[in-house]
Chains A and B, each alone.
Chain A
């Protein structure tokens, strides 16, 4: 019987610091994830952590990892050429078929941009699949902005609102919470919406879209949990009768609104 807990080694191809605490790791692997899925990354002796896949291509995936705990601190000490261990991919990705031919709005806050970065890049390369893509990206301060090069490219392709919660003097861009800018997006009746970010950001941003006549069925969210197995066994990510690692992390909001911790 195959051992689903056995990770496979993956070489670090490159490490790109996004901020002093967020690094993007490019890892050599044959994993072909759906956008929105996650992997369990581990370093023997330090532990395992579920991390969403922030981008992928032939022979590699990218993970954008914030240094917040034991495993991520150890990962941040590594160099290109070092080896990490992977299991996955796990969970459901974003339902691209539901988006095809429709206007799509992606609202993402902070590290919540990571799980949608690959999807946005996919649409940047396949713009014909959608009837327009609007981006609404929020970060705490200008210093917290992730994926600057990607965002600059997206700004030339898609209507993009980039905002920070607090802007110091000299910040030329928007200041304010993501929720404040929803009204600026010219929503079409059948628009599809993705909201990813911290729990409160998701709650209030979704409420704002619903205020603008968007049905819950038109909204998808991605939930964060600390999965210890990714296989529906350990129980850490269970909400009601769902397992975020199996039925999520991407949920349609008509379902997610009934998930009560």
Chain B
């Protein structure tokens, strides 16, 4: 069902939703950007229709709404171990097609990989509902079309900002009822980005011989292992588990998990100080191949969704897209020589 809404109508719709839902979406925090005088666009609570940011990519991905940066797993009290309870309101997340596709990648790791689902992820995830924010065109560095993530499924509704009004495609309740109440029926067909200025060609196969290629040596010099690329990535899901004791009461503490990054020192540390991938070039190789090859070998789809964030946030201007295209060229050369 399609509806046309005025900003005031959509605002009233959000107000009604807010009585039953918590609502997250891309919002702008003035002056909070990385550089002086810049804003931070990221996921946060949406309180009014004007909060939703349409003209920029968020620095961080929506995953933190249901995969928190830091999450308590267990509480300790003497010899007693208890699980934190979770009372979570139904939650709406406004997001772009690439980020919605990214959720299915996170679902693969947390719900499908291994012998059983991750109960902490699952119990939040079941309360999460998605509203697609349609892209008219991508942002600089986006390559969703190359990754097949320009289209999406799994959302309750799709929203388009068009001139001075909103177009709503209601695919499920409560959106149909809300559209009837606050909008005018209209013909709304989904619009997808069909072309990005940037094209990324993902090699079908990556030869293990390329693991030693000099391509990676360049990154060994340039990458500073800051981890920004992985923290901004909508599909990165790695975490570390750590125990803490409360300083004011050593009898009590908790086991928690925090986001981890394969790019940052310590990720592979083992007993006795042994580590693998000490070299940063090898870490980039590990990450890139996970995103465009290893994950696909395991789950049948690429992990990367082409959102372009990792490149945008990299302080060393390392381009993921260029790296993948180079890999593809190397494989093509190899194919010709064979």
A4 to B117, CA, bound (A): 8
CA–CA, A4 to B267, complex, Å?
Answer: 22
Across the interface, which residues of A come within 8 angstroms of B271, CB to CB? 49, 66, 68-69, 72, 224, 226
On whether the beta carbons of A47 and B241 are closer than 8 Å, the reply is yes
Residues of A with Cβ closer than 8 Å to B?
1-7, 9, 42, 44-49, 66, 68-69, 72, 83, 85, 198-199, 224-226, 228-229, 231-236, 238, 240-241, 243, 245-246, 258, 260-261
Interface size class of B (residues with CB under 8 A): 35 or more
Instruction: Give the chain B neighbours of A69 by CB distance below 8 A.
Output: 271
Measured CB to CB, the closest approach of chain A to B316, in angstroms, equals 23
Q: Are A44 and B113 neighbours in the complex by a CB distance under 8 Å?
A: no
Closest A residue, CB atoms, query B236 = A235
Closest chain-A Cβ to B233's Cβ sits at a distance in Å of 12
CA distance A72 to B272 in the complex (A): 11
In the complex, the number of residue pairs spanning A and B with C-beta atoms less than 8 Å apart equals 130
B208 touches A234 (CB 8 A): no
| Chain B neighbourhood of A224, CB < 8 A | 270-271, 274
Chain A CB within 8 A of B123 CB: yes
> Which A residues touch B136, using CB under 8 A?
none
Instruction: Annotate B227-264 by CB proximity to A: 1 below 8 A, 0 otherwise.
Output: 00000000001111111110000100101010010100
Asked whether, in the complex, the Cβ of A1 is within 8 Å of the Cβ of B76, the reply is no
Distance from B81 Cβ to chain A, minimum over Cβ atoms (Å): 6
Contacts of B289 in A (CB 8 A): 240
Known: A5-B73, A66-B272, A261-B282. A233 touches B119 (CB 8 A): no
Bound state CA distance, A15 and B79, in angstroms?
21
Binding site for A on B (CB under 8 A): 73-74, 76, 79, 81, 83, 109-110, 113-120, 122-123, 208, 211, 237-245, 250, 253, 255, 257, 260, 262, 267-274, 276-277, 282, 286, 289-290, 293-295, 297-298
Q: How far is the CA of A47 from the CA of B240 in the complex (A)?
A: 11
Which of B76, B117, B271, B295 is the most central at the interface, judged by chain A CB atoms within 10 Å of its CB?
B271
A240 touching B272, Cβ below 8 Å: no
Among A1, A47, A231, A238, contact of B242 (Cβ-Cβ < 8 Å): A47
Partner of A232, one of B74, B113, B274: B113
Taking CB atoms, residues of chain A closer than 8 Å to B116 are: 2, 4, 231
Contacts of B272 in A (CB 8 A): 66, 68
How many angstroms between the C-alpha atoms of A199 and B272 in the bound complex? 13
With the chains together, A1 CA to B118 CA distance in Å? 9
Distance A241 CA – B290 CA, assembled complex (angstroms): 8
| Neighbouring A residues of B286 by C-beta, 8 Å | 261
Which residues of the other chain, A, contact B115 by a CB distance below 8 angstroms? 4, 231-232, 246
Q: How far is the CA of A5 from the CA of B115 in the complex (A)?
A: 12
Apart from A234-B257, A240-B294, A243-B113, 4 more pairs, CB < 8 Å: A4-B116, A45-B244, A241-B294, A246-B114
